Homo-oligomer: A and B are copies of this chain.
Amino acid sequence: MTKTVLCYGDSLTWGYDAETIGRHEYKNRWPSVLQAALGSEARIIAEGLNGRTTAFDDHLADCDRNGARVLPTILQTHAPLDLVILLLGTNDMKPVVAGSAFAACQGISRLVRLIRNHAWPFEFDGPEILIVAPPAICATGNVPFAASFPGGIEESAKLATLYRDLADELGCGFFDGNSVAKTTPIDGIHLDAENTRALGRGLESIVRMMLGI
């Protein structure tokens, strides 16, 4: 039977293109690449929001960027789910959001517990959870982005280790985005087309394994 996978993320999932200051073409976004790889065996649902945090408020946008406040509504919308992929944490590196890898890790932990304790309709089974560490922030000459993420290079470099330990502790899958992709020096945060495609390809194997397909 076709599996359903929710990709819950931020601009890396949305497909922010730092070069054109726009959105990557549909086919280049990692959820689309993953969909193409899995074909009819799975249905990939992309819910990426620019600026989304794990579990912290950010009132600088005309929408709700707190991942923990919005997640239950998204889970209910797409239930039943077989797998939820969480790719979040980069925006937590902003000091006005949280500013530390440790806080992002606590936010991911909160999201996992929200999924585990969700009141699924019709007593649907809950999904497996795959935690993905975002590729670390790199140095950039882009002044506004650099100013948004002071200390972000050091802190974001810690995410993979912290997320891996958390995934072990909570019985979730883990994938290190740094193993296949790196952020663009254009703004230090985002993935260019090649790297977002690489992330989709990189995820195929563990997603297949977790879905048993």
Contacts and interface: CB of A to CB of B under 8 A. Distances in A.
Contact of A60 (B23, B107, B118): B107
A50 B63 contact: no
A61 B84 CA distance: 20
A147 to B, nearest CB: 5
Contacts of A109: 60
> What is the interface residue range for chain A against chain B?
35 or more
Nearest to A65: B73
Given A96-B103, A122-B21, A73 B60 contact: no
Contacts of A56: 59, 96
A190 to B, nearest CB: 13
Contacts of A148: 102, 106
Given A55-B59, A62-B113, A22 B122 contact: yes
Nearest to A116: B119
Contact of A62 (B59, B72, B106): B72
A144 to B, nearest CB: 8
A201 interface: no
Interface string A41-55: 001000111100001
Given A61-B119, A62-B113, A64-B72, 8 more contacts: A49-B76, A59-B66, A62-B76, A70-B70, A95-B99, A96-B106, A116-B119, A117-B118
**What 6 pairs between A and B have smallest CB-CB spacing?**
A63-B73, A62-B119, A63-B72, A63-B76, A102-B147, A117-B119
8 contacts: A23-B80, A26-B43, A60-B107, A61-B110, A64-B69, A64-B70, A95-B99, A96-B98
